Chains A and B, each alone.
Chain A
Amino acid sequence: MKKIINVPENYTDDMLRGIYAAHPDMVKYVEDDLRCYCTAKKKDGKVAIITGGGTGHLPLFLGYVGENLLDGCGVGGVFQSPSAEQIYNVSKEVEAGAGILYLYGNYSGDIMNFDMAAEMLEMDDIKTKSIVGADDVLSNSNPDARRGVAGIFFMYKCAGAKAAEMGSLDEVLAAAQEAKDNTRTVGFALTPCVIPELGKSNFTLGDDEMAFGMGIHGEPGVWNGPIKTADELASESMDEILKDMPVAEGEEVCVLINGLGATSLEELYILSGSVRKILDDKKIKVYRTFVGECATSMEMAGASVSILKVTGDKMKKWIDMPVNTPFIKL
């Protein structure tokens, strides 16, 4: 294992100390618990949006806490859920009188803990609603059983904008749902990542081998085999996405090309160009293209392609709303 750390056990908390020290004007923690990550700029009367999940995916999840995006995040250890208590403490801090939306990825540990926190808040008469990202097409044929991956970016963007417009809890939930219904992702890994406390990766790939459809914790994909070209990977990804969510000629989409941690921006733009060619050929209009890291798996090499089908001008406004967090400035 070659990592810039002190001791593996402190990976998450040392990372958090670094973040708070670098961005004290934007974020803070509560209850003496570094893992209760909250915005430092709470806005009265706004629906609070809270996310959470394991460490190892930056800028996911906590990186989306900031202006016109989210208000708080429960931070778990590497690939682990935050506790219900942490989510509850974040909720109590950032709740601003208009209720709370829990928006996170579809993983059973996270669901149990967010549900538990919601039950506690109900006792305090604080209203919560929940929605999970489940955009990873190849993780399951049943849409409700899919994992949440990079496509949650669009849910954060739409829900965050609606909340910033001072929408009600139901309206913010509806914005997240609209993004969810119209987002699909396909991803692939070229190399594994090392979990600090294990000191090794939880799967292996041969030198010239890749895993298509792999999840962001190394969950097995649909095939392992020799590495393909950017054009081939774009084509296979777009086939799967469009098979699951048809987009007609003339319709508009947003594209998100996400790096998994160790893949260069150069490569991501090569992939982005390949995806664009396919969309142009199909006469699908591209409203916006985002290229970069938005959901990683530490130093895993690989990428994912997410497509958001744009439903109208209202959604365009949400996507275009500027955002500012320590990690994301658009």
Chain B
Amino acid sequence: MYATRFGKQFAASALALAVSWSVQAAGVTDDDLLNDQDTVDDVVTYGMGLQGQRYSPMNDLSTENVKQLQPVWAFSFGGEKQRGQESQPLVKDGVMYVSASYSRVYAIDAKTGEEIWQYDARLPDGIMPCCDVVNRGVALYGDKVIFGTLDAKLVALNKDTGKVVWIKKVADYQAGYSITAAPIIVKGKLITGVSGGEFGIVGKVEAYDPNTGEILWTRPTVEGHMGYVYKDGKKIENGISGGAPGKTWPGDMWKNGGAATWLGGTYDPETDSLFFGTGNPAPWNSHLRPGDNLFSSSRLAIDPDDGSIKWHFQTTPHDGWDYDGVNELVSFDLKENGKTIKAAATADRNGFMYVLNRENGDFIRGFPFVDKITWAKGLDENGRPIYTDNGRPGDPADMKGEKGKVVVAQPAFLGGKNWMPIAYNPNTELFYVPSNEWSMDIWNEPVSYKKGAAYLGAGFTIKPAHDNYIGVLRAMDPKTGKEVWRYENTAPLWGGVMTTAGNLVFTGTPEGYFKAFDAKTGKELYKFNTGTGIVGTPITWKMGGEQYVSITTGWGGAVPLWGGEVAKVVKDFNQGGTVWTFKLPNDNVASR
């Protein structure tokens, strides 16, 4: 007995030693991840730093020379599978790791654009992901490339060969779960959320061992569900989310409350908190579920060690518009009145931007980042919305056989901002927010069916708020809540943003242009037509002494699926699937 236990301990510590050795010997370390925002030679995290600022301290590219930016290579994802490419690439040791639609991953020589390996996840028949077949990126750790699949699995690949090391099922795709977000790695733990819009799911955040795929803890994001930590193969209770069921939900509705964590999360090492946003509550008809419906449409601060919820901030209590609350919470230092506050900001689907104290979730201020908000008159001193009278879609149960009264809501349910990440520049102290100006008409359908049975359905149409533009890239000042500059775009913006110490802001448009702007003034300095719509997020890194910029291109995502009258604006955009990589021509670098 004794000897066996000793033997086990020895084996375990030897294993731990071996693991830490291998991590140091090859590939990405915990230090690499923690310092990603400061190291220019690589991009090893989704968000270009775990805090998600998407800021690079590089200034080789500047407002002066960015107009000379030229493509150096383009890599096609190939195959017949295209649709939306929402991935952010990673770069480490001269190799780019990028995911593509339909749960594909590629390793590419970052110098030449030549393929090193490709991995295609085998997706089951009959899978029904709700909102296009996107993937937003991979995580790197040690010698592994790890990503989530449309059938809700985590897959770890060897970074050199693309061969599978382990596959772990996170949730049941048949029950409506999926994974589209990039996982993150924090303190040696692989952290992931889940997607799923179907009625009946419960959102969760989970931690896995990145070396083995073993689960470490799970935290449901709906009040009333038990969280667990796993130790030595045992599942140990770790407290009910929100303390008890039924506090903010009627009946047993908390059992299937939604709140999917479909956009992944960020991490702040200073407060040692994971920040995850949560999706809308279920069912869609808010009249069935009076109450705040925690923790739907919220931001959660989660302890990375055991998954405990430290604090929450709910942006849309009792969400009846499908505003959802998954948007990323970006940590930054708010310098105000001679003090530096550990703050974080988030631009919500509901049209408001929130500045919170990231130590405790306290509301500092909130303000609209879109031109018009119809559903709320404003926010109270705690950041809770003051609802407009008659701004809530009607109860389908009140139907009397005719089309119901039309309620106009702005922003539309696709949001003032949707999934596409914002960026923060500590030099300008501004947030760069890709946003959209659109409204929706919602009404109750007179006749509707589901699975062979009569049903109560709601209809909706999304409408552009203006004749000549929908997308607006905005520079927002977190101190004043004021818009400092704006760039208007004909089609809705659906790609992420990056900013640099070169006083630049980069993003792409569905029209296919990769663009750079002056971070202080918003002046457009550069554009390049990539040939298909851009819904990806740019990165920048340094290689051989030169600054490179990359973006995935390929039109798709939710807009063409749910665009309503917006479809007229985007229907002629062609699909694609390419990584474009840019740098300055060599002679320009030399003469700079």
Chain A complexes with chain B: no
What is the interface of chain B, defined by CB distance below 8 A to chain A? none
What is the interface of chain A, defined by CB distance below 8 A to chain B? none
